[in-house]
């Protein structure tokens, strides 16, 4: 009852969020569907709006929450009321992060989102759940508390420069800061986001959290939470501090490139399916960040597209792993073998999901990866090597996984009793797979909605535009922001 | 505005103390249910009378006491805390065989001492208020007469407290020697003289040390965990809020003109900054190793003194008042939950005894979680907004270094607050003794604190405006 109600609410939210997609005007980079209310004062406002960057992340969230709820139907057996409560609370926080235009509000959602995730891992997680959940919270908070100080400094600087109290990120876009200040603020923001992504040396919370989290927790963690970090870079860290961005990009790119290789190699040697997928996430997020740090149009748009793809394919991979776990109560790869013969439909679906993750043409992953490769190659030919390694490595570890689990002799007799996917499980996987094909075959409409916003984010990050988009704000307006780069690209 | 009306808030409280004591005496200690409601009504009446004078600042008793908007804000805060304490002790006091009449008389007397502290600019009167508060506090700590730990708490509190009192008197003597007067403006002038006389410096140092004891600032914090652990739980809740609020308010009021005026406040600011940093670091690190919930909350309240001191250092009056209001609700809320979880005379204090509470008493567990998350500073609770405002003001005044220390210290605090939640929700329960459901007073206090913590976090509009209006210095 509670479960159906929560699912109904989540589906309704998704249907409502579709209105955003159809009502979205792809011709402008300004935030749309803006809602702005006075709140606490001192520049703290309730200020929401979406642009081409946040639109799809919101949709990804609203799509995957019902999917995750449906995927938890059997896996979460106890305390369903609390579970549904926390999942919906999590959805609120996640959407809030993507739509806030006021840094105070953004920070509120960013932190508030930790609480439901903390409970989801801590109550319904695996054996080492308490360790994993505390590590997750403490790692994330370490970064974000320093970001809080940076936000306060930014606020003080803006007040000093203009005499106005504001937390609006649109106002901050118009602020020019000294190089020294930028460095510190950039580092604080970058740390918070790098933990979330996670970039290479800060990634250690991720395998623990992913392995211990229950299936729906892993899905949301991998598919949406990690994107918050990348989103933070695109929305805040890079455009707010262009000078510092230029200075630190080489190092960050190096970390991202290292993460690709490291994550890929670690994934190759994992014995647990969930931690394999977790490490593959590190590798894929490395590629996304490498593309973001390339700071060119193709790469940034590819990164955004790849964020959606990664959300879908990793989410689906976790669903598949969860599905196997529900039948066998083990996640060790060695306990499986010959599953394909018992579960032919599942085997086919699993294969499609894997191919999407590997970037096979015709599926969504291909479009994103190719755009990323193009972009990275344009910026830096050396870094294109680790970028392409993503594809090679992911093919290696995923195909090995498939081979060991689906083919070969049956190791455990219990596998013979496995039932193929049921109706509910099909209802979970099929929509995601349809979307994978859709996004692989017809990427045009998606990408077109991103164009203007990506161009503007890029212009800001390169320091070309220091223009506030709020009417009447200080700073010279240049009309060329919109569509300046939009026409550069070939037709698709 | 006449003296009668100005002194009414204080007079009501003191008069009620006498009434309770007399009734208690004449009924031969069997006043029973009478003192608690009378006390609560007196405190509420005192707040209302105070609020009637809003915006009409005046002084009385020859200028020794004053009732301005600043005092009224703290009067209301302290009186409201007193009402909450009365709500949570309704059942606790009789079950733990404490004397109802004495308890409430002492509680109200302590409140009156704190109110005197915040309504004066005369250092002697402030000392007087402090001593009234302190002496009643020693008695309150030892009121659980059959419990040796309660007696230990009383003695410890008395020893350190009287030492602090001696410091204060000694400091006042020095300051009088330096300035020739105990009026605050004269003393500030003496401190601003360049180079300042060593008597003035020593005097102000001793003065600050004495207040450091009261608000449990490191290195004068040693007494707090033992006293908090031994004292009856409602009294502990009282200790964790009222003396701190009064002490910080006095510091704020005395130091604000000092920061604002000309001269060299630099050294003093460094000194207080170092104390605040130490307080946050030591308080939070020490809390990590505690297993008793009252000791955890004791160290947590030490750390919170550090955060509040940041507001004092940056001269941010509204921030301090808002912080203390939020702190009062979340801390009393947490202690109320501890009281609510008790069973008869047995209290649930060890962390292991909290296992599975979140399942068996979902309401209390959920509320305690909200209070702990608020203490840890998670949005969207009041604890977050309070920290945000204090830290924001500090950054604007160039105290970014201190704020970085503060946020890192609060990262440490997240661990021990969350550990309590871990135990409540993620461990199976050990025993089956459920907390008693029939405690209307405690639940009323809990719900009110919960409402306040969330309201202050999400929509603090009116309260914040009210506080700002009071603190325009």
Domain spans of chain A? Answer: 2-20+38-464
Q: Which residues pair with B388 in a beta bridge?
A: none
pLDDT at B160 over 70: yes
pLDDT in tens, A438-466: 988 888 888 888 888 888 888 888 876 55
- Percent pLDDT > 70 in chain A is 94
pLDDT in tens, A35-76: 888 888 778 888 888 888 899 999 999 999 998 888 887 777
pLDDT in tens, B354-377: 888 888 888 889 999 999 999 999
Average per-residue pLDDT in chain A? 85
pLDDT at B265 over 70: no
pLDDT at A471 over 50: no
Higher-scoring residue by pLDDT: A137, B183: A137
Total domains in chain B come to 1
Q: Where are the beta strands (DSSP E) in B300-348?
A: none
How far apart (Å, rounded) are the C-alpha atoms in residues A165 and A187? 23
DSSP, residue by residue, B225-247? HHHHHHS-HHHHHHHHHHHHHHH
How far apart (Å, rounded) are the C-alpha atoms in residues A170 and A240? 10
Residue B390 in contact with residue B308, Cβ under 8 Å? Answer: yes
Max avg pLDDT among A406-420, A466-480, B254-268, B450-464: B450-464
pLDDT at A474 over 70: no
pLDDT in tens, B216-242: 998 888 899 999 999 999 999 999 999
Which residue, A192, A108, A102, is CA-closest to A155?
A102
pLDDT at residue B433, as a whole number: 61
Strands B58-60 and B65-67: antiparallel
- Given CB atoms, is A410 within the 8 Å cutoff of chain B? no
pLDDT at residue A342, as a whole number: 82
Structural domain includes residue B394: yes
pLDDT in tens, A302-312: 999 999 999 99
Average per-residue pLDDT in chain B? 88
- Taking the CA of residue A178 and the nearest CA in chain B, the distance in Å comes to 16
With contacts defined as CB-CB under 8 Å, which chain A residues touch B467?
Answer: none
pLDDT at residue A478, as a whole number: 38
Structural domain includes residue B36: no
| Mean pLDDT on A242-259 | 90
The band of A486, judged by pLDDT with boundaries at 50, 70 and 90, is: very low
pLDDT at B472 over 70: no
The band of B431, judged by pLDDT with boundaries at 50, 70 and 90, is: low
The band of A29, judged by pLDDT with boundaries at 50, 70 and 90, is: confident
Q: Is the ipTM of this complex over 0.90?
A: no
With contacts defined as CB-CB under 8 Å, which chain B residues touch A111?
Answer: 378-379, 384
How far apart (Å, rounded) are the C-alpha atoms in residues B9 and B44? 10
Structural domain includes residue B72: no
* Cβ <8 Å between B464 and A137: no
| Mean pLDDT on B345-349 | 82
- Which domain does B395 fall in, by range? 265-473
Nearest residue in A to B423, CA atom = A130
- Taking the CA of residue A149 and the nearest CA in chain B, the distance in Å comes to 7
- Taking the CA of residue B287 and the nearest CA in chain A, the distance in Å comes to 16
The band of B434, judged by pLDDT with boundaries at 50, 70 and 90, is: low
Helix axes B400-426, B362-376, angle to 10 degrees: 160
| Mean pLDDT on B180-191 | 80
- Given CB atoms, is A148 within the 8 Å cutoff of chain B? yes
* Cβ <8 Å between B415 and A123: no
pLDDT at residue A408, as a whole number: 79
- Taking the CA of residue A392 and the nearest CA in chain B, the distance in Å comes to 40
Query: What tokens does A307 get?
Result: 């964020």
Query: What tokens does A99 get?
Result: 């739509």
How far apart (Å, rounded) are the C-alpha atoms in residues A64 and A223? 8
pLDDT at residue A473, as a whole number: 39
pLDDT at residue A3, as a whole number: 84
- Check residue B183 and report its DSSP letter: B
Structural domain includes residue B443: yes
* Cβ <8 Å between B400 and A137: no
Structural domain includes residue B412: yes
Which residue, A264, A261, A290, A286, is CA-closest to A277?
A264
Higher-scoring residue by pLDDT: B190, B311: B311
- Given CB atoms, is A212 within the 8 Å cutoff of chain B? no
H or E segment and range at residue B52: helix B35-52
Of the listed ranges A208-222, B200-214, B345-359, the one predicted with least confidence: B345-359
* Cβ <8 Å between A41 and B410: no
How far apart (Å, rounded) are the C-alpha atoms in residues B35 and B459? 35
pLDDT at residue B263, as a whole number: 56
- CB contacts under 8 A, A 106-145 vs B, are 107-109, 111-112, 114-115, 118-119, 122-123, 129-130, 133-134, 137-138, 141-142, 145
| Mean pLDDT on B137-151 | 89
The band of B444, judged by pLDDT with boundaries at 50, 70 and 90, is: very high
Buried b (16+ CB within 10 A) or exposed e, B135-159: bbbbbbbbbbeebeebbbbbbbbbe
How far apart (Å, rounded) are the C-alpha atoms in residues A222 and A82? 22
How far apart (Å, rounded) are the C-alpha atoms in residues B285 and B306? 13
Helix axes A205-212, A273-294, angle to 10 degrees: 140
- CB contacts under 8 A, A 52-81 vs B, are 79
Which residue, B432, B456, B55, B82, is CA-closest to B241?
B82
Of the listed ranges A101-115, A153-167, B99-113, B296-310, the one predicted with least confidence: A153-167
- Given CB atoms, is B392 within the 8 Å cutoff of chain A? yes
Phi first, then psi: give them for residue A331, nearest 5 degrees. Answer: -120, 5
| Nearest CB neighbour to A149, from listed B359, B384, B403 | B403
pLDDT at residue B30, as a whole number: 66
Query: What tokens does B220 get?
Result: 């004068």
| Nearest CB neighbour to A149, from listed B379, B407, B419 | B407
């Amino acid at each position: 009852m509670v479960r159906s109600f929560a699912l109904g609410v989540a589906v309704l939210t998704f249907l409502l969020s579709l209105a955003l997609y159809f009502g979205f005007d792809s011709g402008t980079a300004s935030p749309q569907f803006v809602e702005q209310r006075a709140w606490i004062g001192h520049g703290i406002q309730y200020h929401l709006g979406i642009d081409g960057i946040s639109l799809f992340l919101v949709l990804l969230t609203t799509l995957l929450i019902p999917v995750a709820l449906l995927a938890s139907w059997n896996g979460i057996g106890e305390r369903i009321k609390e579970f549904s409560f926390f999942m919906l609370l999590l959805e609120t926080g996640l959407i809030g992060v993507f739509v806030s235009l006021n840094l105070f509000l953004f920070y509120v959602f960013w932190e508030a989102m930790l609480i439901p995730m903390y409970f989801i891992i801590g109550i319904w997680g695996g054996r080492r759940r308490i360790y994993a959940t505390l590590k997750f919270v403490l790692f994330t908070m370490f970064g974000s508390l320093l970001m809080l100080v940076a936000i306060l400094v930014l606020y003080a600087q803006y007040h000093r420069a203009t005499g106005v109290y504001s937390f609006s990120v649109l106002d901050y876009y118009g602020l020019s800061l000294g190089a020294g200040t930028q460095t510190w603020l950039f580092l604080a923001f970058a740390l918070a986001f790098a933990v979330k992504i996670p970039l290479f040396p800060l990634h250690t919370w991720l395998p623990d959290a992913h392995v211990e989290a229950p299936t729906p927790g892993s899905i949301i963690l991998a598919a949406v939470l990690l994107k918050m970090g990348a989103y933070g870079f695109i929305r805040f860290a890079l455009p707010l501090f262009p000078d510092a961005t230029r200075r630190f990009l080489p190092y960050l790119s190096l970390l991202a490139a290292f993460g690709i290789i490291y994550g890929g190699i670690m994934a190759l040697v994992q014995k647990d399916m969930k931690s394999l997928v977790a490490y593959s996430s590190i590798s894929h997020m490395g590629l996304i960040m490498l593309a973001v740090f390339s700071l060119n149009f193709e790469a940034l748009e590819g990164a955004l597209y790849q964020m959606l793809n990664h959300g879908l394919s990793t989410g689906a991979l976790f669903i598949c792993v969860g599905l196997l776990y529900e039948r066998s109560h083990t996640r060790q790869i060695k306990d499986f073998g010959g599953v394909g013969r018992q579960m032919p439909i599942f085997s086919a679906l699993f294969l499609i999901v894997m191919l999407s993750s590997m970037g096979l043409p015709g599926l969504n992953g291909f479009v994103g990866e190719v755009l990323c490769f193009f972009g990275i190659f344009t910026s830096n030919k050396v870094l294109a090597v680790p970028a392409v390694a993503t594809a090679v490595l992911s093919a290696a570890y995923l195909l090995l996984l498939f081979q060991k689990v689906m083919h070969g002799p049956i190791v455990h007799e219990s596998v013979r009793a496995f039932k193929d996917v049921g109706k509910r499980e099909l209802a979970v996987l099929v929509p995601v797979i349809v979307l994978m094909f859709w996004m692989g075959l017809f990427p045009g409409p998606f990408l077109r909605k991103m164009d203007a916003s990506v161009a503007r984010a890029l212009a800001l990050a390169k320091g070309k535009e220091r223009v506030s988009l709020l009417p009447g704000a200080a700073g010279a307006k240049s009309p060329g922001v919109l569509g300046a780069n939009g026409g550069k690209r070939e037709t698709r | 505005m006449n003296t009668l009306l100005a002194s009414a808030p204080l007079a009501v409280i003191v008069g009620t103390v006498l009434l309770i004591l007399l009734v208690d005496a004449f009924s031969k200690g069997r006043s029973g249910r009478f003192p608690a409601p009378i006390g609560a009504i007196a405190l509420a009446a005192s707040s209302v009378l105070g609020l009637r004078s809003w915006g009409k600042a005046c002084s009385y008793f020859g200028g020794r006491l004053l009732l301005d908007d600043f005092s009224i804000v703290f009067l209301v805060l302290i009186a409201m805390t007193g009402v909450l304490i009365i709500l949570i002790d309704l059942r606790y006091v009789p079950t733990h065989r404490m004397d109802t009449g004495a308890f409430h008389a002492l509680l109200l007397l302590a409140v009156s001492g704190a109110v005197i502290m915040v309504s004066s600019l005369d250092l002697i009167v402030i000392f007087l208020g402090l001593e009234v508060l302190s002496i009643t506090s020693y008695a309150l700590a030892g009121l659980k007469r059959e419990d040796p730990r309660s007696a230990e708490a009383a003695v410890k509190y008395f020893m350190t407290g009287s030492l602090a009192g001696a410091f204060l008197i000694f400091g006042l003597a020095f300051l009088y020697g330096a300035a020739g007067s105990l009026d605050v403006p004269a003393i500030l002038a003496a401190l601003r003289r360049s180079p300042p006389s060593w008597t003035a410096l020593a005097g102000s140092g001793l003065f600050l040390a004495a207040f450091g004891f009261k608000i449990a600032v490191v290195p004068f914090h040693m007494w707090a965990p033992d006293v908090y652990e031994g004292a009856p739980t409602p009294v502990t809740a009282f200790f964790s809020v009222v003396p701190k609020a009064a002490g910080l308010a006095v510091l704020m009021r005395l130091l604000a003109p000092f920061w604002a005026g000309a001269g060299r406040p630099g050294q003093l600011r460094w000194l207080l900054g170092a104390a605040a940093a130490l307080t946050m670091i030591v308080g939070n690190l020490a809390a990590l190793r505690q297993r008793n919930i009252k000791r955890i909350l004791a160290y947590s309240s030490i750390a919170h003194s550090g955060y509040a001191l940041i507001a004092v250092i940056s001269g941010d009056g509204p921030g301090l008042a808002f912080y203390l209001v939020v702190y009062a609700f979340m801390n009393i809320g947490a202690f109320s939950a501890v009281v609510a979880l008790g069973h008869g005379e047995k209290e649930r204090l060890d962390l292991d005894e909290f296992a599975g509470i979140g399942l068996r008493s979902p309401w209390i567990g959920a509320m305690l979680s909200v209070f702990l998350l608020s203490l840890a500073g998670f949005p969207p609770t009041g604890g977050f907004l309070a920290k945000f405002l204090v830290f924001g003001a500090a950054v604007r005044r160039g105290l970014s270094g201190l704020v970085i220390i503060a946020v890192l210290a609060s990262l440490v605090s997240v661990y021990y607050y969350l550990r309590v939640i871990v135990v409540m929700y993620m461990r199976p329960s050990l025993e089956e003794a459920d907390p008693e459901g029939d405690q209307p007073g405690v639940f009323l206090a809990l719900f009110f604190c919960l409402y306040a913590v969330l309201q202050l976090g999400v929509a603090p509009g009116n309260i914040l405006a009210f506080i700002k209006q009071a603190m325009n210095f």
